[in-house]
């Protein structure tokens, strides 16, 4: 694209992808950190013996928790793929295409992976097909 045309497109169509990506990374990161805390607490129950552990595990099989699990999958996928995008940008790859990297890689491919995981969980664990 000619430089003047590129300036025109860049200036007069504000790309929120950079800000959105940053926000998503930050929020998903905090959520995942919180999840890690809860997860370690749960696994810690192993030291309290089989009954305590199995009790906690059966709680997590309930449909409500399965929904949370699907949300967790979504959060992980978003954070991971956006993280890949950020690493690529930091290494100098894809500066010119940072918007496409966000929409196609982080959200596009991320969405596909999410659906590939979420739909089976939903069907088998929540609807009990």
Q: Could you give the CA distance from residue 24 to residue 92 in angstroms, rounded to a whole number?
A: 21
36 binds other proteins (CB under 8 A): yes
DSSP 8-65: HHHHHS---HHHHHHHHHHHHHHHHHHHHHHHHHHHGGGGG-HHHHHHHHHHTTSHHH
22 binds other proteins (CB under 8 A): yes
Q: Is 85 exposed, middle or buried (0-12, 13-18, 19+ CB in 10 A)?
A: buried
Q: Which of 67, 72, 86, 115 is in the footprint of other proteins by CB under 8 A?
A: 86
Q: Could you give the CA distance from residue 56 to residue 84 in angstroms, rounded to a whole number?
A: 34
* Distance of closest approach, residue 125 Cβ to other proteins, in angstroms: 8
Name the residue nearer to other proteins (CB basis): 19 or 64.
19
Site string for other proteins, 88-127 (x = CB under 8 A): -xxxxx-xx-x--------------------------x--
Residues binding other proteins (CB under 8 A): 3, 6-8, 10-12, 14-15, 17-19, 21-22, 25-26, 29-30, 32-33, 36-37, 40-41, 43-50, 53-54, 57, 60-61, 76, 80, 83-84, 86-87, 89-93, 95-96, 98, 125
């Amino acid at each position: 694209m000619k430089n003047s045309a590129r300036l025109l497109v860049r200036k007069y169509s504000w790309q929120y992808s950079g800000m959105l990506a940053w926000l998503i990374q930050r929020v998903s990161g905090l959520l995942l950190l919180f999840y890690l805390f809860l997860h370690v607490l749960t696994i810690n129950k192993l030291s309290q013996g089989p009954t305590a552990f199995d009790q906690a595990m059966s709680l997590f099989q309930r449909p409500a928790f399965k929904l949370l699990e699907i949300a967790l999958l979504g959060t992980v996928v978003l954070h991971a793929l956006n993280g890949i995008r950020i690493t690529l940008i930091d290494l100098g790859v894809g500066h010119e295409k940072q918007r496409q990297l966000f929409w196609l890689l982080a959200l596009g491919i991320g969405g596909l992976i999410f659906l590939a995981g979420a739909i089976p969980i939903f069907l088998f664990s929540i609807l009990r097909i």
